[in-house]
């Protein structure tokens, strides 16, 4: 396999489930985490942070509770568009304002889950720099057309695109489950599995919701993720916080370390990155690790992987 697809470099993207004015200081602490490299020198450990302003929820809260800080402005932009206002006059989303500040102060990449590419990403494109953004789909959305729209903005701005695996697993046919087939199909919609975009396309393994998952919230399926990685030649990130229910929260750090040790062969690791929820948040706090735990995780990972600093 090509060394720019499979390598020892590891990218850590860490931050709260959803961003707000109260947890920005957590992101600033996260940006300060350093680890000792092989020469004994301290270097930045964190590549990027989560800045999610609009959340996917099974049921809509019309008052905006737990829907993210962008919810009210997003609705106003959508209503204005329906009334004939052009996209370039959309109001600034609160999370994008925060993301802009974070990039300027920390140089971190900002990563965000995208619910509605055509109403969110024009605001991203207008306010955030090239090369400094990663966008991904919610696991409950596995349609190709929104992915195509999201990837269009990403290709223009050289952003990263993350593709979460479906929550289901499905039956296996000819050595491929329905989850794998759908995941691979989404890659084709991005039109990014081609030379020049090797570092921009990321598969995000967040486990599957199956009846025999035991104590897991979602069951990791590393072998299936490996098959998809080899088939698409995309990078592969791991999402430990989606696997553990609240009663297993204390196992997130150790589970992350063990996952990052998995190898495809003697030379190459399976995972190229971690997307982990850290600090305080108004949503899903029970699946977060603390900033202190993240610092410990980074140091443990640095013992056998080279951590990628901000670009």
d(CA 139, CA 135): 13
pLDDT of residue 240: 95
pLDDT of residue 248: 87
In a domain, 1, yes or no: no
In a domain, 114, yes or no: yes
How does strand 34-36 pair with strand 9-15?
Answer: unpaired
Supply φ then ψ for residue 17, to 5 degrees: -55, -50
In a domain, 110, yes or no: yes
Q: Take residue 240 and report the two structure tokens written for it.
A: 């430990």
pLDDT of residue 269: 96
Average pLDDT over residues 102-113: 98
Element (H or E) spanning 294, and its range? helix 291-302
Indicate if the pLDDT at residue 5 is higher than 80.
Answer: no
Please indicate whether residue 282 or residue 270 has the higher confidence score (pLDDT): 270
In a domain, 230, yes or no: yes
pLDDT tens-place string over residues 19-55: 999 999 999 999 999 998 767 789 999 999 999 999 9
Weakest mean pLDDT among 30-34, 39-43, 78-82, 228-232: 39-43
pLDDT of residue 311: 84
pLDDT of residue 157: 95
Residue 90 Rama label (left phi>0; alpha psi -120 to 50; beta): beta
In a domain, 2, yes or no: no
In a domain, 297, yes or no: yes
Question: What domain count does the chain have?
Answer: 1
Indicate if the pLDDT at residue 66 is higher than 90.
Answer: no
d(CA 34, CA 30): 9
d(CA 19, CA 13): 14
pLDDT of residue 65: 84
Indicate if the pLDDT at residue 195 is higher than 80.
Answer: no
Entry pTM: 0.94
pLDDT of residue 7: 58
pLDDT tens-place string over residues 111-163: 999 999 999 999 999 999 999 999 999 988 899 999 999 999 999 999 999 99
Q: Which CATH number belongs to the domain containing residue 257 in this structure?
A: 3.20.20.70
Supply φ then ψ for residue 162, to 5 degrees: -105, 140
The parent domain of residue 101 ranges over 9-307
pLDDT of residue 260: 97
Supply φ then ψ for residue 89, to 5 degrees: -110, 10
In a domain, 269, yes or no: yes
In a domain, 3, yes or no: no
Cβ partners under 8 Å of residue 199, min gap 6: 4, 160, 235
Indicate if the pLDDT at residue 4 is higher than 60.
Answer: no
Residue in 205, 226, 198 with CA at minimum distance from that of residue 163: 205
Three-class secondary structure of residue 8 per DSSP: coil
Dump the DSSP string for 173-231.
Answer: ETTEEHHHHHHHHHHHHHT--STT-TTTEEEEE--B--TT-TT-SSB--HHHHHHHHHH
Average pLDDT of the residues of the chain: 92
Average pLDDT over residues 55-66: 83
pLDDT band at 91; cut points 50, 70, 90: very high
Q: Take residue 138 and report the two structure tokens written for it.
A: 């919610």
């Amino acid at each position: 396999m090509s060394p720019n697809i499979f390598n020892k470099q590891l990218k850590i993207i860490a931050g709260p489930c959803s961003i707000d004015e109260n947890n920005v200081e957590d992101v600033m602490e996260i940006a300060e985490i350093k680890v000792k490299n092989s020469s004994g020198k301290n270097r930045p450990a964190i590549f990027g942070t989560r800045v999610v302003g609009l959340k996917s929820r099974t049921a809509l809260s019309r008052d905006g509770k737990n829907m993210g800080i962008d919810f009210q402005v997003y609705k106003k932009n959508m209503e204005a568009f329906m009334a004939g206002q052009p996209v370039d006059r959309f109001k600034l989303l609160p999370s994008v304002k925060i993301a802009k500040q974070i990039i300027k102060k920390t140089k971190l990449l900002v990563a965000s889950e995208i619910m509605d590419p055509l109403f969110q990403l024009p605001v991203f494109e207008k306010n955030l720099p090239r090369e400094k953004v990663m966008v991904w789909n919610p696991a409950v959305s596995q349609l190709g057309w929104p992915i195509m729209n999201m990837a269009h903005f990403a290709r223009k701005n050289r952003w990263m695109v993350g593709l979460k695996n479906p929550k289901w697993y499905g039956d296996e046919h000819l050595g491929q489950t329905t989850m794998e087939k759908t995941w691979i199909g989404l890659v084709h919609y991005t039109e990014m599995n081609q030379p020049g975009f090797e570092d921009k396309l990321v598969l995000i393994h967040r486990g599957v919701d199956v009846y025999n998952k035991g104590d897991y919230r979602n069951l990791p399926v590393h072998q299936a993720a490996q098959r998809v990685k080899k088939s698409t030649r995309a990078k592969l990130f791991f999402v430990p916080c989606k696997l553990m229910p609240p009663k297993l929260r204390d196992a997130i750090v150790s589970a992350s370390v063990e996952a990052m040790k998995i190898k495809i062969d003697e030379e190459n690791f399976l995972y190229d990155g971690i997307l982990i929820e850290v600090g305080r948040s108004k949503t899903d706090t029970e699946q977060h690790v603390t900033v202190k735990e993240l610092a410990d995780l980074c140091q443990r990972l640095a013992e056998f992987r080279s951590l990628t600093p901000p670009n």
